[in-house]
Chain A
Amino acid sequence: MGNTIRFTLDGKTIESSDGETIWQAADRVNIPIPHLCYLPQPDYRTDGNCRACVVEIEGEGALAASCLRKPAEGMVVRSDSERARKSQSLVMELLMADQPSREKAHERESRLWEWAETLDTTSSRFPARDSIDRDLSHPAMHVALDACIQCNLCVRACREVQVNDVIGMAHRGHHAKIVFDFDDPMGASTCVACGECVF
Chain B
Amino acid sequence: MPDDERRPTKLLDQLEEGPWPSFVTEIKKAGEKNPACNDLLQQLESSYEEKRGHWKHGGMVGVRGYGGGVIGRYSAMPEQFPRIAHFHTIRVNHPSGWFYTSDALRTLADIWERHGSGLTNFHGSTGDIIFLGTNTTELEPTFNELTQAGFDLGGSGSALRTPSSCVGQARCEWACYDTMKLCNDLTHQYQDEMHRPAFPYKFKIKCSGCPNDCVAASARADLSIIGTWKDAIRQDDAAVAEYAAAGLDIRRDVCDRCPTRCMDWDNGKLTIENRECVRCMHCINVMPKALRPGKERGAVLLIGAKAPIVKGALLSSVLVPFVAAEELEGTVNELLKRLWDFWDEHGENRERIGELIQRVGLANFLDGIGLDPTPEMVAAPRDNPFIFFREEEAN
Partners in one complex: no
